[in-house]
A and B are shown apart, each in its own frame.
Chain A
Amino acid sequence: MSDLSLRLDSVDLNTAGAARRGAAQVSDYFALLKPRVMSLVVFSGFAGLYAAPGELHPFLAAVAVLCIAVNAGAAGAINMWYERDIDAVMERTRGRPLPRGKMDPQEALAFGVVLSLFSVMLMGMAVNWVAAGLLALANGFYVFVYTIWLKRRTPQNIVIGGAAGAFPPMIGWAAVTGGVDLHSFVLFALIFFWTPPHFWALALYRQGDYAKAKVPMLPVVAGRAATKRQIMAYSLLLAPLGVLPALLGTAGVIYGTVAAAMGTFFVLLAAAVLRASDDSADSRARGDRVARQLFGYSILYLFVLFTLLIIDRAPGLLAQTGGFGGLAG
């Protein structure tokens, strides 16, 4: 299947809306950076950096977090450039700068590419080249593997593509330690296995949007029942994985206890989604409400876990609680 055939015929490739020269405002460039996605990336990147053993000058740590943020935003801008055709037909995304014709698509692409290069080079020069390499890998994975290659071809798009979003804590960790180890890999795996239930919950109640844009999200291609089973399977994998940082000594007892409790509730919500019937419009609306709850809860789950990871490492707070035996010291 050629790449062009994956494009929506009804949307002009050059401009989803007719771009007016000079119409873009500073806020439109900011919107290109997907600030809401960026905030989670920054947070998890900071958590990885803070939880890592070792020391990094506070200013260099701030530069590392800035590079992670700018790089994620730049990847988002390139993603918006490539997806301007489907963004124009999806309710959730039609308010973005490119579908509204606020700027020329090439301008958005150039903005994303320049910021990507800038953030990788600065990370390499200011912090270390392992972190910079991982940053470049995360960017390339999101743009080429997820956005260009997988998203329009397979319902497993967010499973593999989700790896791009899992890199930030590993990058933060590498910024301090200069390498990758089991601890940072577990943090990577935590986000990797969190991503499918998170996005498929969204896709369940936004199914119509994805179908209209011809994006092969799992509910569109395999149906709601199969999606719910997959959500359940990934939730069952995620719940024990969430506790692993405490078992490895990356985090303490309080983290482990909360992760176990929240992971259990995650599985219970996934079970509620699985049980929800799709027989009638009413029951389907109820099912959508549960899916929306799971989506919201999944954000809270990750936010709380990474917050506790930070608190556990904060001197004088909970650090003395130690791990559940500190298998890895």
Chain B
Amino acid sequence: MYMAGDDDKDRQQRQRKKNLALLAVLLAFVVVVYFVSIIRMGGG
């Protein structure tokens, strides 16, 4: 049987996964920029 609550729960789960994926991408970007800066300043 269809329950409106189930739909909301699914949507919240999907949103949570998307937020975590975005967080991972942003953290990876920070790490990349950090290492690029270190290498470039070292003359690499």
Known: A59-B35, A63-B36. A23 touches B44 (CB 8 A): no
Q: Is there contact, CB below 8 Å, between B14 and A59? A: no
Q: Which residues of chain B are within 8 angstroms of A316 by Cβ–Cβ distance?
A: none
Partner of B17, one of A23, A26, A63, A66: A26
A57 at the interface (CB under 8 A from B): yes
Q: Is there contact, CB below 8 Å, between A57 and B44? A: yes
A211 at the interface (CB under 8 A from B): no
Interface centre among A22, A25, A29, A122 (most CB of B within 10 A): A22
A60 at the interface (CB under 8 A from B): yes
Q: Is there contact, CB below 8 Å, between B32 and A63? A: yes
Interface centre among B11, B17, B33, B36 (most CB of A within 10 A): B36
Closest residue of B by beta carbon distance from A21: B11
Q: Is there contact, CB below 8 Å, between A57 and B39? A: yes
Q: Is there contact, CB below 8 Å, between A24 and B44? A: no
Q: Is there contact, CB below 8 Å, between B14 and A60? A: no
Q: Which residues of chain A are within 8 angstroms of B32 by Cβ–Cβ distance?
A: 63, 66, 122, 126
Q: Is there contact, CB below 8 Å, between A125 and B36? A: yes
Q: Is there contact, CB below 8 Å, between B17 and A60? A: no
Q: Is there contact, CB below 8 Å, between A26 and B18? A: yes
Partner of A60, one of B15, B18, B36: B36
Partner of B14, one of A23, A57, A63, A126: A23
Q: Which residues on A are within 8 Å of B, measured CB to CB?
A: 22-26, 29, 57, 59-60, 63, 66, 122, 125-126
A-B pairs, 9 with minimum CB distance = A57-B44, A126-B36, A26-B21, A22-B11, A57-B39, A26-B17, A25-B14, A59-B35, A59-B39
